[in-house]
Structure formats: C-alpha cells, structure tokens
Amino acid sequence: MDIVSLFDAEFLGKSAAAWALFLGVVAVLLILDLGVLNRGDKEIGIRRSLILSSFYIGVALLFGAWVWWDHGAESGMLYLTGFVVEKSLALDNIFVISLIFSAFAIPRAYQHRVLFWGILGVLVLRAIMIGLGAALISSFGWILYIFGAFLILTGIKMLFAGHEPMDLENSRILKLVRKAIPVSPSLDGHRFFTHVKKADGKMHWVATPLFLALVSIEIADIVFAVDSVPAVFAITTDPYIVYTSNIFAVLGLRALYFALAAMVHRFDYLKYALALVLVIVGGKIFWTHLVGPVNTFVSLGSTIGILAAGVLLSLWKTRKEDKAVAQAGASDVSTSRTQ
C-alpha cells in the first residue's frame, strides 16, 4: 500500500489524512507550549494568559474553518456548536482545578507544568471515552435516548444544586494512590517524584504533592467528561467532530485558567445557562427522532445566545462584589503604607 492510499484510508468515518492533520496540529501546539512559549518554571500573568487563550481559540476556529471547507457547512457548524458547548462546560473545570491547587498548596510557578501533563492524559482519556461512545451508538442506536435523558436530568440537577467543593480528602482513588505510592509531605521543585532517605538509611522514590494534584485533575476531567462527551454526541455522532471539538476546547484550558481562576466567582450565573443548554441539547435528541431535525444554525445560535446571556448576567450581578473586593484591596494597601 503506497502513502497516498494509506492517507485515503477511512478511519472512524474520516480519512487517515484528516486525523493526521488534527493530531499534527495538536502535537505542534503542545511542543510550542512547553518547549517554546512556557519554558522553565514561571508564573503566567493575566495578560499573557489572555493572549495565549486567544491564540488557542484562534487556532480552534481556523481548524473549524477547515472542517467547514473540507467536510461541508453542516460539519463546520456542528464542530463550532460542540466547541462552544465544551469550552463553556470547561469553565466549571477551572473552578475545580483552582480548589485542587489550593488544597495541595501548589505554587503558581508549577501549576502550568501540572496542567500541561494533565492535558496529555485528557487526550488519551477522552479518546477512550469517545471511542467507546461511538462503538455503543453504532451497535445500539437507542443509547442516544439514554444520553439525552442523562443530559436533561443533569441540567435539572445543576439548576437546583449549589457549588459543592471537591472532597479530596475522601477521594477513594487518591487513597489508593497514597497506599500504592509513598508520598512526600513537601514539594521538590517541579518534580512529580523525588528521592528521600527512609528509616533503613536507603534512598527511595516517592511521589510529591505535585503528582497528587495531577492525579486529582485527571479524576476531575473524567467526572466532567461524563457530562461533556454525551453533550457533544447529542449534537453529532461523528467521532471526528466529537473528538476534535473536545480536544480543541480543552487545549486552551490551561491558558484560560490563569486569567479566570482569580475571578471564577464572577461566573456564578453561568451555571444556570449551562444547565439550560444541557437540557436543550438532551431534548434535541428526542425532538429529532420524534418531530424532525433541528436546523444547525438555530442550534448554534441558541447555544451561543444562552451562554452569552449567562456570562453577561453573571458579570452584571457580581459587579458590586467585585468593586467591594477591589476597594478592600486598596484599603489594605493604604493601611500598610501608613504603617
């Protein structure tokens, strides 16, 4: 088989060339991220975070434009809808990541390293979950109704549930990790594992809190993927669109984290918009099979409109709280100067 025939071969509904293009773009972004833009341990400021986040969103939109051009307008719209939904759901993940870093006292200078290796885990975990989902849908079409019902119930639950912090101390997986791998009480720079001297006088390998933070972030992503993967399958059953929109939405999460972690409290009302989107996306499955297909432009427009309304309402409702925090900070600075 020659190279042309190999790239023309179909894999999960798309040519090998299309998959190779996507994986090539992701590989370049990861190499550029850790090897060029963020070499060494340093804090990422809000300005740099916003610039990097805009860059990732720009690359994702360019890829969406290619999908539109190469696979048709319908696929392009489905990709954009999936990307918007995934990007919005990722905002809740930022809140959890912030709690994890606080719980393990991870300095900001090392946080990017944890998030970078976390994204590599996401690439694999999401591929497995999406592959299983695609296989189930291919063999049992009715499972889409279960996805739809699950999304509707999840959306309703989000509407009435408060923000429950992640209980890291009682995490069964973390307890298993601590039993299987000795953990040092303190960090050793940016290392996930380090050497310590035990009672027998010998040096032993042990994990650092940085490794526990990485495991916790991977656990959090699995929990969020339980919602986000069915949400995109409810939009389209094309594995290529599902996976690429998922990964491009998550790729820029690291950059966005450093800009939004300090102000995530200002997006409280976004939760209700996300809940409504999940209910609508889940209901779309039943509507499509019982009434008829929903126009893709209407689906994308309504998703963006609801999420934009949630963001604007959040910023407007919390503006007084933000001013109070700023005034308190200014007051503390003034007091310290007088002293």
- Residue 259 tokens read as 């800009």
Contact by Cβ (8 Å): 90, 249: yes
195 backbone dihedrals φ, ψ, rounded to 5°: -95, 135
The model scores a pTM over 0.85: no
The predicted structure's pLDDT at residue 130: 85
pLDDT at res. 323:
56
Say how far apart CA 204 and CA 132 lie, in whole Å. 39
The helix-helix angle for 73-103 and 296-317 (nearest 10°) equals 30
Distance CA 73, CA 69 (A): 7
Distance, CA of 323 to CA of 197 (rounded, Å): 50
Q: pLDDT tens digits for the chain (339 residues)? A: 455 555 556 666 678 888 889 999 988 888 887 666 656 556 677 777 788 888 889 999 999 999 999 888 889 999 998 898 888 877 777 777 887 888 788 888 888 888 888 888 888 888 888 888 888 887 887 888 888 888 888 888 877 766 555 556 666 767 777 777 888 878 888 888 888 777 666 777 888 888 888 888 888 888 778 778 888 888 888 889 999 998 898 887 777 777 776 666 667 777 788 888 888 888 888 888 787 777 777 877 888 888 888 888 887 877 766 555 445 444 444 444 444
Task: Decide if 12 contacts 239 (C-beta within 8 A).
Answer: yes
Q: What pLDDT, in 10s, does the model give residues 280-291?
A: 888 888 888 787
Q: Specify the 3-state DSSP secondary structure of 222.
A: helix
What are 166's two structure tokens?
A: 């992640």
Tens digits of residue pLDDT in 38-75 = 565 566 777 777 888 888 899 999 999 999 998 888 89
Find where tokens 């900070």 sit.
Answer: 329
Q: Return the closest-CA partner of residue 234 out of 303, 158, 305, 324.
A: 303
Please give the Cα distance from 244 to 26 (Å, whole number).
10
Q: Counting every residue, how long is the chain?
A: 339
User: Interhelix angle for 209-235 vs 270-290, to 10°?
Assistant: 40
Three-state SS for 106-152 is CCHHHHHHHHHHHHHHHHHHHHHHHHHHHHHHHHCCCHHHHHHHHHH
Instruction: Render 38-83 in DSSP notation, one character per residue.
Output: T-SS-PPPHHHHHHHHHHHHHHHHHHHHHHHHHH-HHHHHHHHHHH
